[in-house]
Structure 1
């Protein structure tokens, strides 16, 4: 699995971005959102149980990420057509403010090293990538446990201070000085 300090792999993926006819899909690459921080979060499969709780929560918190000059990219190994169908079908996903990328060939998931060994789907992984494309934080959960969006924001805040942040540090609190 790629980790802290590694370059995020290059990718070009189809994404479901809208329910509006003719504007449902777009292509998104590693060069999209240049100069921004990115949060890439992967879920195993569409039309499941834990995944929509996470996807919806990232959607509800999108403005918090935007305030930090950060683009959310939600990704699974389902197709962009399946993403669109799920958005149409699930009330909490209809108005998502960020793209749902389709890693159908599993190229990005494989390059990151986050494919489940038996199931062949993406693990519940989250990557924070800085504006230079360097992975700065990685978290991977078991398929049965959802992630904590507040923790993703807390770590993003800490990384953006470019200072030393102690245990349980929260935005606005003092950072540590080097003695």
Structure 2
């Protein structure tokens, strides 16, 4: 079984949380039993999370050797110059080594998304922009660290697709079977 789930902001990619106070988890969304997340999406990130009960499929989707592309819509603080975009495309140096080249596009208009709760803080005097970033690796908080490395801090991060699977019209907390 393979499930596409639109993970809401501030939800853990696991079914239990031992922290105090407990945080929201996948357990609150009526997902079928015996599925688990194929990969992770940060607590403060949103969007497509694939869940499966098939270990072989989970491995194929997440193992870096299979290089499944993952596309993120990223709202950044600031105005990306061509130099900053090119740095992201070429790969940037992070504390755990250089990133692989990425496909990076400046989006002419923001993607059509649901409102985030709580909303991203709006500041009239600080411009922002939306990027589409496609990676073939998946380090911890990689997109956020990449945009920070070129002085474009991430304000909002939404995974739009993973391999051949896309978020499409799923709203936060909704899921659908893909198989």
Normalised to the residue count of structure 2, the TM-score between the two structures is: 0.28
Tell me which protein shows more helix as a share of its residues: 1
Tell me which protein shows more strand as a share of its residues: 2
The one of the two structures with greater contact order (alpha-carbon pairs below 8 A, sep at least 6) is 2
Normalised to the residue count of structure 1, the TM-score between the two structures is: 0.28
